[in-house]
Amino acid sequence: MADVRSTDFSENGWVDPLEGIDLSAKNIVVLVSGGGTNLQALIDAQERGELGGGVIKCVISSRPDAYALKRAKDHGIPTRVIQRKSFPDVESYSNALIEALYQEYADLVVQAGFMTILDRCVCRAYQNKIINVHPALIPSFCGKGYYGLHVHEAALEKGVKVTGATVHFVTEVCDGGPIILQKAVEVKADDTPEILQKRVMEEAEWKILPEAVRLFCEGRIKVKDGKTIIS
- Answer yes or no: 134 catalytic: yes
Average pLDDT score over the chain? 92
Which pLDDT value is given to residue 117? 86
pLDDT in tens, 91-126: 999 999 999 999 999 999 999 999 998 999 999 999
Question: Of the listed 75, 134, 152, 168, which one is catalytic?
Answer: 134
Distant-in-sequence, close-in-space partners of 163: CB < 8 Å, separation ≥ 6 = 135, 136, 137, 140, 141, 152, 155, 184, 185, 187, 196, 200
pLDDT in tens, 195-217: 999 999 999 999 999 999 999 99
Percent pLDDT > 90 in the chain is 88
pTM, 2 dp: 0.88
Which pLDDT value is given to residue 23? 54
